[in-house]
Amino acid sequence: MATDLIINATLFEIRIALVEYGNLVEFYLERHKERGFVGNIYRGRVRRVLPGMQAAFVDIGLDRTGFLYVDDIFVKSDSDALDDRLISLENSEAGASCCENVSDSLPRHLPPGVSIEELLVEGQELLVQICKEPIGTKGARLTTHISLPCRNLVLMTTTDHVGISRKIEDETIRQQLRENIEALRPVGAGFIVRTAGENATREEIEADMEYLLFLWREIQDVAQQAPVPSLVYEDLDITLRTVRDLFTPEVDRLVIDNFRTYERVLKFVETFAPHLTDKIHHCDEEKSVFDVYGIEMEVNRVLDKKIWLRCGGYIIIETTEALTVIDVNTGRYVGKDDLEETIFKTNMEAVKEIAYQLRLRNIGGIIIVDFIDMENEVHREELFRALKEASRKDKSRMNMLKVSEFGLVQMTRKRNRDDLSSVLCESCFYCHGEGKLKSTRTICYEIFRKIQRAGRRMPGDEVMVKAHPQVASLMFKEEATNLDQIEVEIGKNIVIVPSKDLHLEKYEIVWKDGKEQSGA
């Protein structure tokens, strides 16, 4: 058992796991009420043009308007020919799995001097595709460079370029694929050969090409009649999309526990990759296929902040809105008699775990890795090479800077969707995502200060404090002496009332005349 693709389908969600040599390496989740939008094509209307950001907000019928950057706008040249310079393939998730590794780099910027105001006006109608899911409070990222993926090919509707995935390394195969595409494609149609198309026959390429061109004509026909804003084309659901993108000849088995889903996938594969049908299996166990394969426990570990290494060291993963920080520590590992060797071994073991966790958790954006400081320059270079090598299997585009003298590695990883932590969790309703609360003693002294400030000028001889039971208990016991002294100082009796309904940081101070002070 080398590589397995496991699909757990239920009434409420689809969970997909890619397992390599018994280890969970990629995990995908889609809930039926939270289905993703990447790949969908919409007829939209420009709501606002922002010259200062060189972008526009486009209403496509979702809760939030989409964001369209100037480089993602397709414009025909004076002769109405397709202009290669306007391609921005890396902005499409469909393209991200194949086009980020295209060997022939494509210029993607507008000609100098072209601004968003020259291309768009408010109220203008556009055909756009979502290339990046809405994340947090941000709307979906849009592009007018429509791309349609199939099993072996991606149709690029706004260019006549032919590209080959970088992962296809054999030059003879690359040349043969390019010749096949050139011989078959109509004038003006651009195609990318995906990694899965490395061993595709001419007939299979032709079938994919005919399907994609037919699909594009259908989309254009629907778009002409569709109201604005509206959905014109909905991409495959996560099950078929994952089968299309991940179920390659390198996968030994595709195991599905839901029989209806099994039949759908089997029919899909019979159409697009019939040579792989014998690898599809239905798991008819009573329990979930994730339990059968021991994946359930691995999914739960994805949320852990501390990950132990085999040598006894560990890494800590902290994510903020702006970036993710990974800290490497020696932990229980003390080595033998050479401190530099102990540090180097811990860092080298951490490299593999970091690359694995980034891929599994789908952590994107800016990433800072704080390795343990190494004085040896050779060790720093070897560590950097090891990190790049460990990240080779990651499909998301990554950029890394070399290890600094402080042991820091700065990198970026393309973010196409929310990381697993955001998908599986939500901010704590108690601390609102802060991760920390004021201590009970801090709250207690805050109450004391407010009473002291207002105590002498308030009428009456009594003040009532409503507080969380933990704060109230501290006042009754450890802080009883201070409470007595404050009563003498302000000349009033202080009544403490525990209230389980109050947040730990919330409290109420009620004076006898009815005036009330709230805290936190």
Residue showing tokens 């009796």: 493
Rounded to an integer, the average pLDDT of 53-76 is 89
Residue 250 pLDDT more than 90? no
Q: What proportion of the chain, given as a percentage, has pLDDT over 90?
A: 48
Residue 164 pLDDT more than 70? yes
Q: Is this prediction's pTM over 0.75?
A: no
pLDDT recorded at residue 415: 78
Structure tokens at 485: 């002294």
- The closest alpha carbon to 100, from 342, 398, 422, 332, belongs to 398
Q: What is the pLDDT of residues 436-485, one digit of tens each?
A: 889 999 999 999 999 998 877 787 788 999 999 999 999 999 999 999 99
* Rounded-to-10 torsion of CA 475, 476, 479, 481: 140
Q: What is the pLDDT of residues 305-348, one digit of tens each?
A: 999 998 889 999 998 878 999 999 988 877 666 788 888 999 99
Residue 161 pLDDT more than 90? no
Rounded to an integer, the average pLDDT of 49-61 is 93
pLDDT recorded at residue 151: 86
Residue 373 pLDDT more than 60? yes
Report DSSP letters for 189-250, one per residue: -EEEE-GGGTT--HHHHHHHHHHHHHHHHHHHHHHHH--SSEEEE-PPPHHHHHHHHH--TT
Residue 196 pLDDT more than 90? no
What is the 3-state secondary structure of 332-394? CCCCCCCHHHHHHHHHHHHHHHHHHHHHHHCCCEEEEEECCCCCCHHHHHHHHHHHHHHCCCC
Q: What proportion of the chain, given as a percentage, has pLDDT over 70?
A: 90
CA 374-375-377 angle, 5° bins: 95
* Rounded-to-10 torsion of CA 7, 8, 11, 14: -60
Q: 275: pLDDT confidence band, cut at 50, 70 and 90?
A: confident
Residue 132 pLDDT more than 90? no
Q: 90: pLDDT confidence band, cut at 50, 70 and 90?
A: very low
285-288, Cβ contacts within 8 angstroms, sequence gap of 24 or more: 285/257, 288/8, 288/257
Rounded to an integer, the average pLDDT of 404-427 is 84
Higher pLDDT, 473 or 250: 473
Q: 393: pLDDT confidence band, cut at 50, 70 and 90?
A: confident
Average pLDDT of the chain?
85
